[in-house]
Structure 1
């Protein structure tokens, strides 16, 4: 159901405004299917809403509101939330219900440690290869980043950010390494979205460009340092954000 149709379906202007302003507006109604596929669809939709901060850290999740918005029964919603609990995105509070898990600084530091260890070595390998196809793909990606860096379009920029790192990982042809980085990256996505101010997007573009320039020059040490500094900036900014928004972070 479109937002316009949804607004007509409610009983009053107040109800209409409430529906449009609901955090669950990011969830789309899904068509019926097998129980497993419904659970998958609900899980993916809730995960996307959590990662993009449509459902903010610390927010209690209203299962019935999810059911009504997506047009499903309670079972796939409960099953999807159980999976998301295992993934560390939600948590069950006794006698209260399920909430979006606050962002844990210690968890973030550990995942960034993993990413730094693997991606620093990745850029060393890419620098040694000096593959023109990889460099061309990175250059094309950076041109798109440049056009978005000052606009504040955080979701579109985030897609390009992910693609930049994937180009590097694909170049070294180590699928297991890429898989491990993806797991850690998923855990970091909420934090990256929270930090995605126009200023941070511009800094991220500059950091990516320094990595690219070192790779173009075939300078493995400079590329490695640029990647390390790029990922290290996330930790520094998280600590600053935790002071401003302590409600969305765990100590």
Structure 2
């Protein structure tokens, strides 16, 4: 059965005169068909139970049938990717409706653009686990459905990048991929500062990877050490709903939305 996707906690933001973003929670659910579920039990309830010889139940050999509902890891991953793909597009349509823009997505090549208005489009989504962090959800329970956060940004100016991430970044992963200048500065920070800034750097790198279509290792190895001081100063003010600053080296604007765990480069 095809799951129904639902958006929750949608938040819209205007970054400048022609750049907007949206974030949301997306869930997938498969509605039960109660007419099928209870069709046989209805007949039983309507039967005259006084005519049933319950003594014979003790001598019946019962065979239990448990349907093989388990899916392979590859199949689960594929279905989640399909649902995530549909989820970000559902959020894009919600944003276009909010802006009264009647347009459609051209996703045949990168960067994505809207067909008529030619706005640039970029997506991001999260999962319950990430290859860069712990693969076991909290509580040790396996994850068999979709319960993700999704994000989208559109801009008329130029290609844009966005990354939403709820998981922390392991320090060993940062040391493996980050530039040595970044590692040297991060090691001088407190553990809390280091972990927070390392995660933000990852999101900034991911955003630039989407903009420039870098290969993953190439993009993660770029040196953004010159941004660390600004990031440290920004996270000291936890009450801020957003932090925006210019990246003079690349000529891009960076927006951090801490409450929504989202980074946008436009």
Work out whether the TM-score is over 0.5.
no
Task: Choose 1 or 2 for highest CA Rg.
Answer: 2
More helix by share: 1
Q: With the length of structure 1 as denominator, give the TM-score of the two structures.
A: 0.24
Flag the structure with higher strand content: 2
Larger RCO of the pair (alpha carbons < 8 Å, separation 6+): 1
TM-score by length of 2: 0.23
